[in-house]
Amino acid sequence: MQSSAGVETAESVKEAQDAVLASYSQAEIEDLRRMVHSDRIYGRLVQSIAPMVYGHEIVKKGLLLQLMSGVSKATAEGMQLRGDINICIVGDPSTSKSQFLKYVCSFAPRAVYTSGKASSAAGLTAAVVKDEETGEFTIEAGALMLADNGICAIDEFDKMDLADQVAIHEAMEQQTISIAKAGIQATLNARTSILAAANPVGGRYNRKATLRANINMSAPIMSRFDLFFVILDECDEQVDRHLAEHIVAVHQLRDEAVAPEFSTEQLQRYIRFARTFRPEFTDEAKEVLVQRYKELRADDAQGGVGRHSYRITVRQLESMIRLSEAIAKVNCVEEIIPEFVNEAYNLLRQSIISVEHDDVEVDDDEGDDDEGREDGATLRAAADRAAGVSREADAAMADVQEHDEDDAHRGERQASAAVSSAGAGQPQPPHRHKQTISYDKTRPAAAARASRERPWCSGTWSRRRASSREKKTTTTRWHWQGRS
């Protein structure tokens, strides 16, 4: 059964290619043959996509793969597996989002352009209206039905109401539109690729917030987009200079300002021919695809770089499959090799997850913590120095007081010796306790100045008196009482 199915597929592909080539002239066929057999055709086609828009090569890669699309499949149970690629472009103002949408609509043979703010759920899917003449209910097709087998470009996607976004869930994944209104029950085809453009919440993208916090979308509709492109308006002197030169040249010379390698007609002929291929995975590519998906799931389970956008699910695995098939179509080959899978994996990470490095901002948070720790250490060191000053002051006072006490004791011994030498017969004067007061008068002033300079170690000076019965002296000491 598999071999017969493969033969039928090969025959159908051959018939489709013959039908496409039959509509071309001999010169166009020769030009197409040169393009197919040339080297690095993938990168050269990307350079020719939207030549009027400067830079954004990653976005142009996604647009080229969306124009190619993957391979639509149908299982034995009748389940349809979509091959169309959905892309969402999120970016700051004046980053060429609408220009990409306008270019794709003018380039694709069947494309519908609409605005999310001015579109309702019925306008995007389908509406049931009553005929004025016959009084019967009829179905009017919406934008997604009109873009069947094409591309539906939705600008200002973030301005859509959540109820209208829910209405296109079925169209984005199952590619059908179910209607049960006014006695009409129908399931209509909406086999279209959706190219959406959205502005971040607040106008500009906030790097410190997550991807989901920057766009007004629910998690289910985010998971239905294969690629997310975040375009940031960053200040770079070299990039700004080249961009300004490009814009001025376009205004001055118009079409002569850019000279792409392939014209629009050549790209359309090539894409039309390449879409007839139905590439299949090789065993090596299948193993690489499974390994890449395991890596994405492991990063998500461990709280890796993708944890702030949405969980990595089977839809991301199917996205890698569709991207790998589209890359194989660009190269006009029938087999998908591991290099194509790695390119699809890198594109998925660069589009969906690259912004998460900026969202998390681990370095800035750690810097703030280090700064906080440094501030705490600085305060503690200053308090220790202030406490050391007070301890040094107490030690100096104690040394001065001991020195004064020694002088007083020495004076008493000399006086008693003089009295004993004068004779025992003479009357002795009544003994009086000697009071010694020793302190540094500059300490309270220094303390006041220190409290003003270092408010975290402020305090007060206080006097304390101590009496000694043995030495028969009274001592007054100044003590520093600090407040933290």
Q: Does 357 have pLDDT greater than 50?
A: no
Q: For the chain, how many structural domains are there in total? A: 1
pLDDT in tens, 100-133: 999 999 888 888 998 887 778 888 888 888 888 8
Which domain does 483 fall in, by range?
436-484
Is 463 domain-assigned? Answer: yes
Kindly state whether residue 461 falls inside one of the protein's structural domains. yes
* Mean pLDDT (whole number) for 237-247: 89
Has residue 465 been placed in a domain? yes
Does the pLDDT at position 328 exceed 50? yes
Whole-number Å distance between alpha carbons of 464 and 450? 22
Report if residue 213 sits inside a domain.
Answer: no
Confidence of residue 210 (pLDDT cuts 50, 70, 90): confident
How many degrees, rounded to 5, is the angle at CA 260 between CA 258 and CA 262? Answer: 150
Write down the H helix ranges in 308-361: 314-330, 338-348, 354-360
Q: What whole-number percentage of the chain has pLDDT above 90? A: 13
Residue 483 inside a domain? The answer is yes
The total of other beta-carbon atoms located within 10 Å of residue 469's CB is: 7
Confidence of residue 382 (pLDDT cuts 50, 70, 90): low
Tokens 């305090």, located at residue: 459
Length of the chain: 484
Q: Of 181-190, 224-233, 332-341, 345-354, where does mean pLDDT reach its minimum? A: 345-354
Q: Is residue 459 part of a domain?
A: yes
- Is residue 448, in this structure, part of any structural domain at all? yes
Question: Does some domain include residue 108?
Answer: no
Work out the mean pLDDT of the chain and round it to a whole number: 76
* 304, two tokens: 């890796």
Long-range residue pairs from 300-309, CB within 8 A, at least 24 positions apart, any chain: 305/353, 305/356, 305/357, 305/360, 306/352, 306/353, 306/356, 307/356, 308/210, 308/211, 308/212, 308/356, 308/359, 308/360, 309/210, 309/211, 309/212, 309/222, 309/228, 309/352, 309/353, 309/355, 309/356
Mind listing the pLDDT tens digit for each residue in 131-185? 888 888 888 888 888 888 889 999 888 888 887 788 888 888 888 888 888 788 8
